[in-house]
Amino acid sequence: MHSDVAPRPLLSTSIVPALLVCLAAPAFFVVQQQWLGWALLAAGLALALASERRQVTASGPSLTRDLSLIAIGLLIVSSIALKAELDDLAMVRFALALGGAVVVPYVVSRWVYRDRAISFPWRGGTRWKPWQWAWLAAVLVLGWLILPFYFITSGVYLNWPVVDTPDLVARLFVGVGAVGIWDELFFICTCFALLRRHFADVTANLLQAIVFVSFLWELGYQAWGPVLTIPFALLQAVIFIRTHSLGYVVTVHLLFDAVVFGVLVHAHNPGLLDGLFLVTP
């Protein structure tokens, strides 16, 4: 997933272009100023290129190339509005944009740059340990305790469309799960993996969390949502480091999203699931 030729620094001059590229995410998804996002991406890539050209000898992976892959993904995602919608056109739009944000950087990395900077290690090579099974149970319990209170008391459930028919409920289930899987493919296996080639794990993690949380903000996790999404983004990367298993982090995310799905159905249909959650709309 990263180069072991030289120690990866906690901080270096490379942090400036990397931070600029990652800050394009809140520009795109939080303040929603496209021009600012483009400017930050351009500045970050230009600084990375200038820095590499000043180096007497090239060593290790190219920062410019790796940041360009993140920039490609961000540009593709930012081409659509991320407001949750469940009609056919919206679901196709999401599928094309989010799918492209994973596929295009992978293709460019593999067949244009001729490296294997992005990969999707599903199993991790070992069986799940007791702590991993315990964490899955903890995710369900924590989600059940926290998410209804967050969504209902803050009113952010209104950022998702009303789901009051079987068809809409099914579409919500598919949409929430699909976006959850995509989160791990893009933020962990793409952004985090690329940043980890240049920085210590903690630095790469903090940078990818900027991108992760910004996306979730526009998707609907607003109000005091970052209090939940920041720790979640950081923990997912830490778990990935320990397990090297995309399958496990996806399982964690899908369990969390299963509770999100249940809460959204509950919030939009008062009385339907009152016995299941502690907070009612």
* Tens of pLDDT, residues 176-213: 999 999 999 999 999 999 999 999 999 999 999 999 99
Rg (CA), the chain: 19
Phi–psi pair at 122, nearest 5 degrees: -70, -50
Mean pLDDT computed over every residue of the chain: 92
pLDDT given at position 273 = 80
Calculate the CA 182 to chain-centre distance. 7
| Structural contact between residues 73 and 183, judged by C-beta atoms closer than 8 angstroms | no
Band (pLDDT 50/70/90 cuts) for residue 10 is confident
- CA separation for the pair 76, 214 (Å, rounded): 15
pLDDT given at position 127 = 87
pLDDT given at position 281 = 82
* Tens of pLDDT, residues 220-230: 999 999 999 99
- CA separation for the pair 38, 179 (Å, rounded): 24
Over the range 28-41, which residues count as b (16 or more CB within 10 Å of their CB) and which as e? bbeeeeeeebbebb
| Helix (H) or strand (E) run with residue 90 in it | helix 88-107
* Tens of pLDDT, residues 23-66: 999 999 999 999 999 999 999 999 999 988 877 555 678 999 99
| pTM for the full predicted model | 0.92
What is the 3-state secondary structure of 53-82? Answer: HHCCCCCCCCHHHHHHHHHHHHHHHCCCCC
pLDDT given at position 241 = 94
- CA separation for the pair 66, 108 (Å, rounded): 10
Distant-in-sequence, close-in-space partners of 219: CB < 8 Å, separation ≥ 6? 82, 84, 159, 179
